Amino acid sequence: MTRFAAPIAEQIWDMKYRLKEADGTPIDLSVEDTWRRIARALAAVETDPAAWEPRFYSALEDFRYLPAGRITAGAGTDRSVTLFNCFVMGTIPDTMAGIFDMLKEAALTMQQGGGIGYDFSTIRPKGAVVHGVAADASGPLSFMDVWDAMCRTIMSAGSRRGAMMATMRCDHPDIEAFIGAKADSARLRMFNLSVLVTDAFMEAVKADGPWDLQFDGRVYHTLQARDLWNRIMKATYDYAEPGVIFIDRINQANNLNYVETIAATNPCGEQPLPPYGACLLGSVNMARLVTDPFTEAARLDEEALAELVACAVRMMDNVVDASRFPLPQQAEEAKNKRRIGLGVTGLADALLMCGLRYGSEEAAAVTEAWLKAIARASYLASVDLAKEKGAFPLFDAEKYLASGNMMQMDEDVREAVRTHGIRNALVTSIAPTGTISLYAGNVSSGIEPVFAYAYTRKVLQKDGSRTEEEVVDYAVQMYRAVHGEDAALPDYFVNAQTLAPLEHVRMQAAAQKWVDSSISKTINCPEDIDFQSFKDVYMEAYETGCKGCTTYRPNDVTGSVLSVAEEKKEAPEVVANSDAEPQTPHGDVIYMSEPFDRPEHLEGNTYKLKWPDSEHAIYLTINDIIVGGHRRPFEVFINSKNMEHFAWTVALTRMISAVFRRGGDVSFVVEELKAVFDPRGGAWVKGKYIPSILAAIGGVIERHMIETGFLEGEGMGLKTDPTAKVVGLDAPRGKACPSCGQFSMMMVEGCMTCASCGHSKCG
């Protein structure tokens, strides 16, 4: 008998979490081996490992406690990886040397798989005087571009996908440029962006008062607060960024506000952290804790919940000692405060099992009660650990009890903390659980509603063929088990697409009250929501105590979410023969299932590229094909007398030409080439620093694309209509998954997630 509730669960385990040899030979022969590996690794730091290993195994068994992906994949493997999910890096100094020291630290952290956050508010604004060098500052966004390129370089080296959060204060002089940065779809792709919104700003918005943009005591510009708020809202309405972080509330509610100030979060926003702050994550699977589901007797087993939470807190505390850290400052910060982020997943499924409609006032009240029970159990478990192992090193009883969430905690818990101390400064956080929720049998993710109760997934087989399988939500499986396979779902079964946005906010606010860090949650909005109603979502989030707000409104820029059931529509006809060019309406971008045939004659240009310190020039020939009356790149040739580069130039030209011949928006080739950094250093060419010879080649290709009308300009998108038309497939659909190619990407907790293969992208 398999432990997996669905085929997709076993596939995710095999792909993401199963320990294998370098050649792919499995070491974990079953999921039980994976649980045993994790339990053994986390018990190893105990004085009596043999006593704790079976208890840890019991918590993991049947997916009741789900450590975050880095712990599940990395614990007990002897690999040089961090088990921590979240890092906020050091404060960026406003000096060139300091900025690039921070860049190095970011690269080292991302190389080990950590997602990072940075506050760029500390860098002087564009145009500010730089004393001693007779120059004006380039501003924080120019350095964000450097971080973005670094992240892409780390990814291209085969590391885990990069994820970064950039924040900027609402009073920084460059805030307007920050707000509009993602309007360019090619810029800052590795970043999530969020504005640090203060209480003073929100009061100015409500009063329609003036707002000063300032840096280092100097006011650069004054505008109306409401105008700036509307710019934030319009950018988010149009292309889903930036998010909003209510930073004063975060600092006021922080249990450690007596020793730290927070100005940034991790990439998905659930973990506000101080400079060099680090936090690990894990989730209690609420869907496994409901007894007698879908009956009158259905209830959450609170005794089992408390027992599971206590064990999970101990396991997570042990991760602090078992993990590696990319930087010594991160290790010191983690061990001084011993932050952990215990959250939940399967909450929406658990509510359904108890007959509650997600988003209703009753469901919100029950959610608040469940989260309070978890908070109590977590704090008391951490107090027990303090009795046994000692409180976190920076614990100060009176200051701690007078700070943050501790001020609203029940008196018996406060008294236990006062008497014995507490092991972990902060204990709760609700993180994205997109992949681990699939691994746990397709339970609902985090505190999100169920996205879809069933959908069809295409699976790539080893022989290259694709098969289809139905993926069913865990709660639906349970309902069918109780009421029969053909039973109609009751009307309290709602999903992310049918909920009103303010119902999402209600659930987030209910959960936030008893979560001492923050929550990763996406508030899905209909495409046709009017702008005023959209702004009301954010104001309601602020007024009801949320620490931040992230929305997703499907549109032409952000793409559509996964469609569960669609009617077939006519695909645009493509004529391809020796006498006619392929024709599509309006010259739109074509994504071909088969590459273009090469005509006998092509129009092209040859460019000479002279790289400093190289004896011979490089000659780059780019040939174009005419499609729909427009020129588009078709093939590339690189030639040089320097035989040192022969092999890689041949490989490069073949790969680029193969991409070009497939059609579509191939401008990403330029992006990727321009982002390559040579570890030996780049060169100055015509007054501009180019990080590598490959970046120089990318620049030549980009210039050619601009001159032939394929691109609007440097760093800009297509000149023709960028609406993708997919040849021979049904439409409309979401964006294509970069991992499996299926058109089933959907927004889950701020991350675009593929329903077909589990690939997730948060940057």
Active site residues: 266, 268, 270
Per residue, the 3-state secondary structure of 651-718, as one string, reads HHHHHHHHHHHCECCCCHHHHHHHCCCCCCCCEEECCEEECCHHHHHHHHHHHHHHHCCCECCCCCCE
* 532 dihedral zone (left: phi>0; alpha: psi -120 to 50; beta): alpha
Helices and strands of the chain, counted as H and E runs: 23, 31
Tell me which H or E stretch contains 558. Answer: none
- Dihedral (CA of 292, 293, 294, 297) sign: positive
Query: How many residues in the chain?
Result: 763
DSSP 498: T
DSSP 581: -
Tell me which H or E stretch contains 284. Answer: strand 278-285
For 412, what's the count of Cα atoms within 13 Å in the CB-facing half-sphere? 4
Residue 500 has phi, psi (to 5 degrees) of: -75, 145
Q: Of the candidates 673, 672, 600, 591, which has an alpha carbon nearest to the alpha carbon of residue 632?
A: 591
Residues with Cβ within 8 Å of 230's Cβ and at least 6 positions away in sequence, in order, are 535
Please identify which residue in the block is written with the tokens 């943009």: 213
Q: Where are the alpha helices (DSSP H) in 181-322?
A: 199-207, 225-239, 247-252, 302-322
Q: Is the peptide bond before 242 cis (omega within 30 degrees of 0)?
A: yes
Q: Give the separation between CA 114 and CA 185, rounded to whole angstroms.
A: 25
Q: Is the peptide bond before 572 cis (omega within 30 degrees of 0)?
A: no
Please identify which residue in the block is written with the tokens 């991160």: 330
Q: Give the separation between CA 194 and CA 549, rounded to whole angstroms.
A: 9
Q: Give the separation between CA 579 and CA 73, rounded to whole angstroms.
A: 55
Q: Give the separation between CA 243 and CA 751, rounded to whole angstroms.
A: 13
Q: What is the DSSP string of 400-428?
A: HHTSGGGGGS-HHHHHHHHHH--S-S--B
Residues with Cβ within 8 Å of 361's Cβ and at least 6 positions away in sequence, in order, are 506
